[in-house]
Amino acid sequence: MSETETIQEKTAANDFTEGSIFKKLITFMMPILGALILQAMYGAVDILVVGWFGTDAGISGVSTGSGIVNLITFSVAGLSMAVTVLMGRYLGEKRAERIGPLLGGSICFFGALSVLLAVVLFVFARPLAIFMQAPAEAIDVTVEYVRICGVGILFIVAYNVISSVFRGMGNARLPLIFVGIACVVNIVGDLLFVAVFDMNVAGAALATVLAQAVSVILSLFIIRKQKLPFTVKKQDIRFNREILSILKIGGPIALQEILTNLSFLALCAFINRLGLDASSGYGVANRLTSFVLLLPSSLMQSMASFIAQNVGAGKEDRARRGMVTGMMIGASIGVVIGLFSYLRGDLMAMIFTDNPAYIEKAAEYLRGFALEAVVTSILFSFMGYFNGHGQTMFVMAQGLAQTFLVRLPMSYFMSIRENANLEYIGYAAPAATVFGIMLNLAYYIWYTRKMDRTNGLK
């Protein structure tokens, strides 16, 4: 088979504008889900190894420190989603010549952003830990974790951008390989630095950075061996107008991620005030909830690519059917996951710690959180649909409304009640999501009617 035929075959396999919607979504989503599972394991291993081989305060330190780092990571991931959407659109429109400048501008923009973020995390690590109301026993280890991860933030940013590029092409297999490499290196590094060298939280952070570095270096090597349907020339690598497109689409997503994750940091701070047991128990539960939300997250990422290609090809009806299919897939599986989280959260928590108090607190939070496994799949399918249409301002607005009108006020109120219970704090997440679904449904009805009128559809 010739090189041209090979490229055409790969392009057809990654074309979302034809064929079974269910099959296309599942085929594309599974590698993304696998990558997210590995990524969640990547973060969970830090808590797991520190919980078994480090100190009790170390669990709180990793939980609080990783919350701060995740604020950066998820924000960059949101910003880089613009690359996914733009690539999907250009491919759907058969304008591959615009991809070179898009990727060249991305390299310059995200490189400069990495330097800025590294400085901020290193310099402000201690003020951030204090602001987070980390327990006194855990402040120093929290600062260690944030500073070490800050030094390696370039690799975290690079991984997210590289993965966005391939998801935009409809290729979710390579990001799975990249994160798989990182996960293996992180597990080995955690065991070596924490269990063998007794480096506690600093060892967990060092393993995280080392894993990301190895993953990025190997991914660049793998990319050079791929037959790509576009080229990036030396002159493309500069600050160009494609950066404005990235900011226009990705900026609202990133801002939403920043403010949403700030709300989670605020929630962590509310719970930190309840003492070390609650702080560490929430740290364990938070790692578990990251697994619960993997399916909805993979749906949203898949949906953005699927929708963008179909919008570019002018197939709006197929885009809408794709969104509904995603909702059905996610909600049906979410019921099983949610029930298990509600009924046996203690078994899940035992994976990370043998401390009875931490297990009890983690199970409390999971009981309140459990419904989120179902409703988030519906919400994230809506969000993927609107991101694929470039309606990121609305996605940002509804996310902020959920956060600041429901999740934060309800969490704070529950945390200051006499004999505050993590179960009731956990209810704030699904309550906010249900509110978000109502906002998205109303906007969907308005938006689709507007498009139908514009296109002269009945």
* pLDDT exceeds cutoff 50 at 234: yes
Within 10 A of 2 (CB to CB), how many other CB atoms are there? 7
Q: Of 99, 88, 96, 8, which Cα lies nearest the Cα of 315?
A: 88
| Mean of pLDDT values over 171-177 | 73
Q: Of 113, 46, 47, which Cα lies nearest the Cα of 350?
A: 47
Task: Break the chain into its structural domains and give their ranges.
Answer: 21-451
pLDDT digits (tens, 9 = 90+) for 392-421: 788 888 888 988 899 888 888 888 877 777
User: Residue 386 and residue 300: Cα distance in Å, rounded?
Assistant: 10
* pLDDT exceeds cutoff 70 at 458: no
Return the structure tokens found at 355.
């401390």
Q: Pick the residue with more confidence: 433 or 14?
A: 433
Give the mean pLDDT of the chain.
81
| Mean of pLDDT values over 345-363 | 82
pLDDT digits (tens, 9 = 90+) for 43-92: 677 777 887 787 777 877 887 888 788 778 878 887 888 888 788 778 77
pLDDT digits (tens, 9 = 90+) for 183-222: 888 889 988 998 888 888 888 889 988 988 888 888 788 7
pLDDT on residue 445:
92
pLDDT on residue 431:
92
Q: End-to-end CA distance of the chain, in Å?
A: 46
3-class DSSP string for 133-158 = CCCHHHHHHHHHHHHHHHHCHHHHHH
Q: Of 68, 66, 69, 163, which Cα lies nearest the Cα of 110?
A: 163
HSE on the CB side for 23, CA within 13 Å?
Answer: 7
CA distances from 164 to 174, 294, 346 (A): 11, 17, 36
Q: Of 370, 310, 448, 345, which Cα lies nearest the Cα of 28?
A: 310
Q: Of 62, 106, 112, 50, which Cα lies nearest the Cα of 83?
A: 106
User: Residue 267 and residue 67: Cα distance in Å, rounded?
Assistant: 10
